Amino acid sequence: MTHARARLTLVAGIAAASVALVGCSSAGSPAPSDAESGGLTLEQVQEAGVLVVGTEGTYSPFSFHEGGAGELTGYDVEVITAVADELGVEVEFVETQWDAIFAALDSGRIDVIANQVGITPERLERYEFSEPYTYSPGVLIVPEGSDIAGFEDLEGRTSAQSLTSNFADIARDAGAQVEEVEGFAQAAELLRQGRVDATVNDRLTFLDYEQAQGGETGLVIAAESDDVSEMGVAFRAGSESLVAAVDEALEALRADGTLAEISESYFGEDVSQP
The answer to the question of residue 272 being in a domain is no
Q: 74 with 190, same domain?
A: no
Per-residue pLDDT at 33: 31
Smallest Cα–Cα separation from 162: which of 172, 148, 151? 172
The answer to the question of residue 57 being in a domain is yes
Q: 201 with 148, same domain?
A: yes
Q: 107 with 58, same domain?
A: yes
Per-residue pLDDT at 164: 72
Record the pTM: 0.78
Q: Which residues contact 111 (CB under 8 A, 6 or more apart)?
A: 28, 29, 40, 45, 51, 52, 53, 235, 242
Q: 86 with 24, same domain?
A: yes
Q: 79 with 99, same domain?
A: yes
Per-residue pLDDT at 215: 81
Domain count, the chain: 2
Cis omega (within 30 of 0) on the bond before 61? Answer: yes
Per-residue pLDDT at 241: 97
The answer to the question of residue 273 being in a domain is no
Per-residue pLDDT at 139: 97
Q: Which domain holds residue 172?
A: 137-228
* Tens digits of pLDDT across the chain (274 residues): 444 433 333 333 333 333 333 333 333 344 443 334 489 999 999 999 999 999 999 999 999 998 888 999 999 999 999 999 999 999 999 999 999 999 999 999 999 999 999 999 999 999 999 999 999 999 999 999 999 999 999 999 999 998 877 899 999 999 999 999 988 999 999 999 999 999 999 999 999 999 999 888 999 999 999 889 999 999 999 999 999 999 999 999 999 999 999 999 999 999 999 8
Per-residue pLDDT at 233: 98
Q: 70 with 123, same domain?
A: yes
Specify whether the backbone of 256 is left (phi greater than 0), alpha (psi in -120 to 50) or beta: alpha
Task: Write down which residue in 228, 244, 259 finishes a domain.
Answer: 228
Per-residue pLDDT at 165: 77
Q: 90 with 220, same domain?
A: no
Helix (H, G, I), strand (E, B) or coil at 70: coil
The answer to the question of residue 20 being in a domain is yes
The residues that bridge with 127 in the sheet, in sequence order, are 236
Query: What CATH number does residue 74 fall under?
Result: 3.40.190.10
